[in-house]
Amino acid sequence: MTPRFLDWIWHIRGSLTLASGQSADEVMTRLVPLFRQTGTSHERTGDTLTFRKKDQAAQDKMSIFDGGVLRIERGPAGPLLRYHLTSRALLFCFLAPLLFLSFAGLTIVAGKLAKPPAQEATKKDDRKDKALPQHWIDKALGAPAPEKPKKDDKSKEDGKKPKPTAAYVFAGLFAALYVVGRILEGRLVKSLFRKSLLG
């Protein structure tokens, strides 16, 4: 069994208060059309409806969900529709930032390993700083002395090193997708059930 403190990541649970005059048959009759979609199978047992989705179409209003259970219960304030839905898309959006952050970490480590030792870098800089010798013929002809080679900009050197920026950007995008999806999809599905029951 998956611990409850972890399964909230891709599980959406909620409840909806039903009208006191609505029977279980009437509620299920109004909800069933939501599950008559391509790639969706459902089964009703008494006051419980179970559904599964596979290769669901993008036009399906519940395409983000892979399965779930809807159950009618008797509460102290009246009948309730309780639902428990699962979504692999939400799980993917939750895990993707962790994956990209690990890529960023590996990129940083690779950049540090690829850096030349300090002594070698100093020797290279010393060679660059030395003026090039001028040929005696050039001196005799009055030609100007050759200029010192220009030091490469740090920006060019940094450009050669792998940067983790892209990994951070993708991690941020998927994190935002997860937060928005987790909040928005919970509200949308509740609104969808409410409209179906009122319709």
**Domain identity same for 156 and 188:** no
**Domain identity same for 70 and 126:** no
Give backbone dihedrals phi and psi of 192, rounded to 5 degrees, phi first: -65, -45
Containing structural domain, residue 58: 4-91+178-198
> What's the domain count of the chain?
2
**Domain identity same for 13 and 73:** yes
**Domain identity same for 137 and 190:** no
Please report the pLDDT score of residue 199 as a whole number: 72
Average pLDDT, the chain: 84
Task: Write the CATH number for 37.
Answer: 3.30.310.80
Q: Is 112 contained in some domain?
A: no
Q: Is 100 contained in some domain?
A: no
**Domain identity same for 124 and 49:** no
Lowest mean pLDDT among 29-33, 76-80, 109-113, 128-132: 128-132
**Domain identity same for 150 and 188:** no
Q: Is 50 contained in some domain?
A: yes
Q: How many CB atoms lie within 10 A of CB 99?
A: 13
Which whole-number Å values give the CA distances from 189 to 90, 91, 107, 172, 176, in the listed order?
Answer: 14, 17, 40, 25, 20
**Domain identity same for 16 and 87:** yes
**Domain identity same for 10 and 85:** yes
Contact residues for 48 (Cβ-Cβ < 8 A; gap 6+): 69, 70, 71, 72
**Domain identity same for 30 and 79:** yes
> Which residue would you say has higher pLDDT here, 128 or 175?
175
Q: Is 107 contained in some domain?
A: no
Residue 130's identity, in one-letter code, is: K
Please report the pLDDT score of residue 150 as a whole number: 64
**Domain identity same for 69 and 43:** yes
78's tokens: 């009246």
**Domain identity same for 129 and 86:** no
Q: Per residue in 98-108, pLDDT tens?
A: 999 999 999 99
